[in-house]
Every structure is written in structure tokens, then in C-alpha cells.
């Protein structure tokens, strides 16, 4: 979800560890390159079934001396498959993750990585509200989700960057750019696949929503670029097949004009902003676009770029907020207090209370260092990334590069969303500079169906697909579980929508 408001700790209860002894670890990064290692000194855990339910098992690899992965069985939520939780330890930084096996064929099905956005929002929202194996309906009420994406895939949910959800740092360290976060994610992926050999070579897909439109392209690119270095030291490359971005905020050059269209034109529903405000917005739009181009993209002038963003928000976004509509679903109302308290969804508050339960935290293996009430979104992280102008980085450049290398890209959007809407996302896909640009643009939008009814429209050419989901908002899997799952199942199977 994207909010527009928007001394070392000992490892807990380590079981058998694959960490190589200090005398056998001359394998640090050298000059940005991995040094080769003696495979005979590395002992992978291999089988997830060997993991403990009460203690963490530590996974390491000599190629990544500063990284450690702790993982344990935490069978919960689904009830039909094995579930695991753990931490990615990067020295004094600790990223929390959940992992669920596929309900169909865990030994053969693809692997999906999922992250929510913010920046600063926990992937527990994706897990417990949208596409995970269970839905938290209240503090003590959890139900099976038949439309979970682990119907046909093994799936990770990761609280990142540091400070999100159950992730934390020992000494106040933090990450304030997506590129820094990408290094940690790429290392984790390599360590996991190297230890659990049954996943080696398995198709891997990186997915996310909202600010995930910035995260996922960079994370996938880091995984792709890392592959050549893995091969050089004798490790198996990651079989990165695709990225999937739902209602992503990837390119502000297309999103600000799309705000005007969504709130002042009948793109999804009738205009929600009064005529006078729309006229003022239209007058300010050209100036907004000009200032963004000159101060945020043509140059790297931080002060002027922040001023340009403030101008755009004041003149383009502000009229929408006065309309008291839910920014994640235009068809619903939401006042400022509701937005501040629960991002317009009372269920988010219930998920936080569920994750505050002592028994739940014990089952998950949450470190004792994590104190206080659970927070679905961290405003400090939002501010740090904003101060670093991280969101202004042209993430579409990463998408272009991935497409040129044969990595498939799915951009999907619930049509009721305003904050990272389908209009801006469609225009972003049409603007992408890659060898398939003309072929993609030449394709007309067409209906795609689920169970004989129209589910949205789509355009596809080569490795790039754009799709909408009718009657869905920002969190499309929450609003339209069946349609979202069917979209993903067809994508994984390489079937046409």
C-alpha cells in the first residue's frame, strides 16, 4: 500500500547451522566481485522438512559473509501446507519474512516473492488481507483464503526495508533508497535457493504493489545482475522469469496527469471533484509537468525537485483529498481521520491487533527485540525515502532493461484505485522505450474473462502485458480474489489472458 500522507542481538535458539568456521572463510567480496569458494566446505540444509518448529536454523553461504538467514517451521494460517518464518540478518539489520509452500505441487511449482509498498508498509497486509493463505477478519478470527496465490506457487512475504513490520535494526541503522534495499533482497534469494536445492532452477517471479512499482523492478534487476557473479563462483543462477506489479507507482511523469483524469473525467466513475477545482487543476498541470521534468528528471536538484513535488501535490492532489474519497477505491468515501487511523480500512487495524497477540508472535518466532504495538506502516521510513527522492528515480528504466533481457513484465491494476491508478500505469507501459514498443502500442485493448464474465481489459505483446481488473481498487486481490488469482495462474502458466 502507498500512503500519500504520507550491543548485537544473539541469534535465537539456533539449531544446526551451516555457517563455515572462521578459519575457512576467505570469501569476502573483492572489488565488487565474488571470490570463488570450495563447495566441499559448504553444507546446505537442503530439505525444508528438517527445520525445527521451536528453534531457528541458521543458513549462511561463504559468498555472502555478512548475511545470515534464520528460518523455522511456523505452520499456521493455511492449515493445508507447510509454512515457515524467519529473519534475513545483515550484520545488525534483520528483515522478517514468511514463506508458504504451494497447495498444488510444492516440489515443482514456481516461486513468488511478494512485497507491499509504502515505502514503509508491512507485507503482512498482502499476506493477511489480500493474497495470502488466510484472511484475518478480526483479532481472534482467521479464515482460509481459497484465492491465495499459493494455490499454484510457493510464496514469500517480506517485511522490508529495515523498520517495517517485524523487521528491525540493533543500533538504529536504516535504509533510505530502493537500490540499497535491493542488495539485501538479492543476497537473501541466492542464499535460500542455494540451501534448498529442490528450488534450484525453479521459475522465480518477483511481485508487489503500490510502491512495489519502484521496488520490484530494482529488486529483480539486482537478482538478474547477480546471476553472472553467482555462476562465476560455482553457484546456480536464479531462474528469474517475470515481475508482476499491481497498482504500482512506477513513473510520476505519467501518474500526476492521471490524477487529473481520474478525479475530473469519467475514467472509472463520474468525476469526484467539483468543476472549479478541476479547472484549477488543469491550469496547474502543465506547470507541474514542466517543473518535474526540469527539476526532478533533467537535473538532480534536490531542493527544487522537492519544491516541484510540493507544487504538484498542492495543485493536483489536494482537490482530491477535499472530496473525502478513499484514495484506494474511488467508489467509497473516507475522511481524514479514517485515512490517518487505518488507511480507510478498519481491517488493517484488526491485522495489527492480531499481530500484537503474544501467542501469534511466539508462533512466528518474532525476535524479543521487537517491542511495542505492531504498526502496518512506518511513517519514518516514508519520510526517509521521500527525503532521498527515492520515488522520483525512473523505475521504468529497470523495466525496459528487464524486457530487453527476456524477463516478462505484468502490470495490472484495479480500476477503482486513484493513488496508483490504471490510467497512469497504462500510459507508463505505452511510454516504455524498448525494442517491442511499437508492437505493444499497436495492440488494441481487449476484454479478458473469468468464468464467462468480463474481468477487465488487457494489452499484450512479447514479454509485456498490461491488464485491468474491474470493480477492484488498489488492493485488487482483496477486492477481487477470484479474478486476481486467475490472472496470476494464467501468467505463471504462460497462458493468454
Q: Catalytic amino acids?
A: 210, 417, 474
- Nearest one of 118, 125, 84 to 477, comparing CA atoms: 125
Going by DSSP bridges, is the β-strand pair 83-90/134-138 parallel, antiparallel, or unpaired? unpaired
90 phi, psi to nearest 5 deg: -115, 85
Burial 56-79 (b: 16+ CB within 10 A, else e): bbbbbbbbbbebbbbbbbbebbbe
Decide: 53 and 71 in contact? Cβ < 8 Å: no
Beta bridge partners of 447: 457
* Three-state DSSP state, 432: coil
Helix or strand (DSSP H, E) at 409: strand 408-414
Q: Over the range 298-319, which residues count as b (16 or more CB within 10 Å of their CB) and which as e? A: eeeeeeebbebbebbeebbbeb
> What is the rounded CA–CA span in Å between residue 322 and residue 326?
11
CA distance 111 to 196: 12
Contact between 460 and 126 (Cβ < 8 Å): no
CA distances from 425 to 246, 250, 402, 408 (A): 10, 8, 17, 16
What's 90-120 look like in SS3?
A: ECCEEEEEEEECCCCCCCCCEEEEEECCCCC
Q: Which three cell numbers stand for residue 492?
A: 505463471
**Whole-angstrom Cα distance, residue 134 to residue 63?**
36
C-alpha cell at 133: 493463505
325-326 and 141-144 strand pairing? unpaired
Q: Which helix (H) or strand (E) holds 290?
A: helix 275-292
CB proximity list for 171: less than 8 A, separation 6 or greater: 92
Cell of 97: 519474512
Non-local CB neighbours of 388 within 8 Å, separated by 6+ positions: 176, 177
Amino acid at each position: 500500500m502507498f500512503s500519500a500522507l504520507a550491543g548485537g542481538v544473539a541469534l535465537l535458539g539456533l539449531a544446526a547451522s551451516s555457517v563455515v568456521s572462521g578459519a575457512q572463510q576467505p570469501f569476502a567480496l573483492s572489488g565488487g566481485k565474488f571470490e570463488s569458494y570450495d563447495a566441499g566446505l559448504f553444507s546446505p540444509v537442503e530439505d525444508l522438512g528438517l527445520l525445527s518448529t521451536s528453534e531457528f536454523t541458521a543458513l549462511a553461504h561463504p559468498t555472502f559473509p555478512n548475511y545470515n538467514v534464520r528460518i523455522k517451521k511456523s505452520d499456521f494460517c493455511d492449515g493445508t501446507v507447510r509454512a515457515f518464518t524467519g529473519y534475513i540478518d545483515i550484520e545488525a539489520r534483520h528483515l522478517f519474512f514468511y514463506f508458504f509452500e504451494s497447495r498444488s505441487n510444492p516440489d515443482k511449482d514456481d516461486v513468488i516473492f511478494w512485497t507491499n509498498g509504502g515505502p514503509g508498509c508491512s507485507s503482512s497486509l498482502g499476506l493477511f488481507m489480500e493474497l495470502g493463505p488466510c484472511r484475518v477478519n478480526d483479532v481472534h478470527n482467521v479464515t482460509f483464503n481459497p484465492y491465495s496465490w499459493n494455490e499454484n506457487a510457493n510464496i514469500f512475504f517480506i517485511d522490508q526495508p529495515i523498520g517495517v513490520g517485524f523487521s528491525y535494526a540493533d543500533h538504529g541503522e536504516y535504509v533510505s533508497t530502493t537500490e540499497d534495499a535491493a542488495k539485501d533482497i538479492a543476497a537473501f534469494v541466492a542464499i535460500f535457493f542455494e540451501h534448498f536445492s529442490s528450488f534450484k532452477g525453479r521459475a522465480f517471479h518477483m511481485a508487489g504493489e503500490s510502491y512495489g512499482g519502484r521496488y520490484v523492478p530494482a529488486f529483480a534487476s539486482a537478482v538478474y545482475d547477480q546471476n553472472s557473479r553467482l555462476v562465476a563462483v560455482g553457484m546456480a543462477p536464479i531462474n528469474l522469469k517475470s515481475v508482476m506489479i499491481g497498482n504500482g507507482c512506477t513513473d510520476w511523469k505519467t501518474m500526476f496527469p492521471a490524477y487529473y483524469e481520474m478525479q475530473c473525467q469519467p475514467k472509472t466513475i463520474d468525476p469526484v471533484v467539483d468543476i472549479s477545482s478541476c479547472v484549477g487543476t488543469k491550469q496547474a498541470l502543465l506547470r507541474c509537468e514542466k517543473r518535474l521534468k526540469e527539476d526532478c528528471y533533467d537535473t538532480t536538484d534536490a531542493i527544487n525537485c522537492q519544491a516541484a513535488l510540493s507544487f504538484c501535490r498542492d495543485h493536483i492532489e489536494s482537490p482530491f483529498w477535499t472530496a473525502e474519497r478513499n484514495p484506494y477505491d474511488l467508489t467509497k468515501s473516507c475522511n481524514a481521520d479514517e485515512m490517518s487511523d487505518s488507511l480507510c480500512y478498519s481491517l488493517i487495524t484488526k491485522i495489527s491487533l492480531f499481530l500484537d497477540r503474544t501467542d501469534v508472535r511466539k508462533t512466528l518466532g518474532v525476535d524479543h527485540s521487537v517491542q511495542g504495538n505492531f504498526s502496518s506502516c512506518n511513517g519514518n521510513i516514508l519520510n526517509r525515502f521521500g527525503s532521498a527522492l527515492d520515488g522520483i528515480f525512473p523505475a521504468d528504466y529497470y523495466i525496459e532493461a528487464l524486457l530487453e533481457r527476456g524477463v516478462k513484465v505484468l502490470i495490472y491494476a484495479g480500476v477503482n484505485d486513484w493513488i496508483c491508478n490504471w490510467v497512469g500505469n497504462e500510459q507508463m507501459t505505452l511510454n516504455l522505450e524498448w525494442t517491442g514498443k511499437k508492437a505493444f502500442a499497436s495492440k488494441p485493448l481487449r476484454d479478458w474473462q473469468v468464468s464467462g464474465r468480463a474481468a477487465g481489459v488487457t494489452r499484450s505483446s512479447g514479454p509485456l502485458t498490461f491488464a485491468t481488473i474491474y470493480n477492484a481498487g488498489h488492493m485488487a486481490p482483496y477486492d477481487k480474489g477470484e479474478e486476481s488469482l486467475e490472472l496470476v495462474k494464467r501468467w505463471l502458466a504462460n497462458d493468454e489472458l
